[in-house]
Amino acid sequence: MKKTLILIALIGSSFQVFSNEDAYVTYTGEVLQCNFNKGRDLDKVLEFVRNDWYELADSYPAPYEGNVVTPQLYDDNEGYDLYWVGFTTNNNAMGQVLDWFSVNGTKTFAKWQSLVDCASWSQWDIFEVRANQTDYQEGDNNIWALHSCSFKQGKGASDIRENDNVWNEFLDSLDHKGGVWRWWAAGGSSLEETNDFYVNMGFSSMTEYGNYRDARLKSLVDGTYPETIADCLPPRVYSVNNIKAISN
């Protein structure tokens, strides 16, 4: 039987933000930005993580989800062949996993380094704007559209909740089933980036992504586009290969 894939919509902790009565479900993410070593490719990486890493990760001391993410619609200037993206329920759980891995994962990490050369390793604080409603299973693939966003002049964190409610009404009208998450930079993230946050939208396929983009364009034309607090750049679109779902 397949394990249920949460795709960030973990059984997570609620974190009080922006006001006492409003609680967002939050998660911790880690991202490694990597390029293939000479003679290596995606097939070799997937074979490794689905076998060697998966066997090791079954012993992690806290729930952890792992994904290999590759560019789908992108700019070559970004310069990365793939990303490792992992999630835990909070920063404490991520710390437990990393401490355990530093003791028990040396050989596995050496194999990983023989396949890819990673330029950065960062952590992210993630707030769930819209829960994933799709019944993904472990090993399924999906699509992420990641938008770089900055607050409009005079807008800030206190305006987020109201705008999120408007966005969810808009996505309800489209019968959008994918999740939406706001990513805030944490340890190891680039000090050169000037944006305030990222918005990550999940889709089951490129067709579903295309349907959303059509609806977005229509809303821009007719004046119903729901974004009022931030300016967001065109998204980078990624193919997500799930490797491990939350299982402990």
**Residue-level pLDDT at 22:** 61
Instruction: Decide if pLDDT at 14 tops 50.
Output: no
- Tens-place pLDDT, residues 187-217: 998 878 889 999 999 999 999 999 999 999 9
Give, as one character, the DSSP assignment of residue 159: G
Instruction: Decide if pLDDT at 147 tops 90.
Output: yes
Give, as one character, the DSSP assignment of residue 81: S
The class level of CATH for 13-244 reads: alpha beta
- Tens-place pLDDT, residues 57-87: 999 999 999 999 999 998 876 679 999 999 9
What global pTM score does this model have? Answer: 0.89
3-state secondary structure of 112: helix
Domain ranges of the chain: 13-244
Q: Which uninterrupted H or E stretch holds 14?
A: strand 13-16
